Amino acid sequence: MEHPEEYELMAVFESEPDTLDSVADVPFYYNQSTYKYSNPENEVIAFSMTPSYNEVSFKVSKGNFEIANMNLQNISSLSVLSDNKAEKRIMLTGRNYILKVQLKPRF
């Protein structure tokens, strides 16, 4: 899976990832990283990726209400479309689909 550098993902999600294997010698590519982001609309987005398995999942909630919950496999690429003060967007590409996800100003 093609993906942005780790620092680019931290910039988009404005947080450091929680990793499944917290051992220092496990490379980013082989680890599962979960980023948590809260946008101005108080929507909480938990985005997890495992590059070596080509898997991505995200869960979006606002308060106790779940807005979205997706688990995607066979992702060929993840890219950052926009990362600025007013807007944050990513794009997931698979064999038969392209999914564009807006994180800010709202999901």
The three state secondary structure string of the chain is: CECCCHHHHHHHHCCCCEECCCCCCCCHHHCCEEEEEECCCCCEEEEEEEHHHCEEEEEEEECCEEEEEEEECCEEEEEEEEECCCCEEEEEEECCCEEEEEEECCC
Cα distance between residue 95 and residue 80, in whole Å: 18
pLDDT in tens, the chain (107 residues): 999 999 999 999 999 999 988 777 788 899 999 999 999 999 999 999 999 999 999 999 999 999 999 999 999 999 999 999 999 999 999 989 999 999 999 99
The pLDDT score that the predictor gives to residue 28 is 87
Q: pTM score > 0.75 for this model?
A: yes
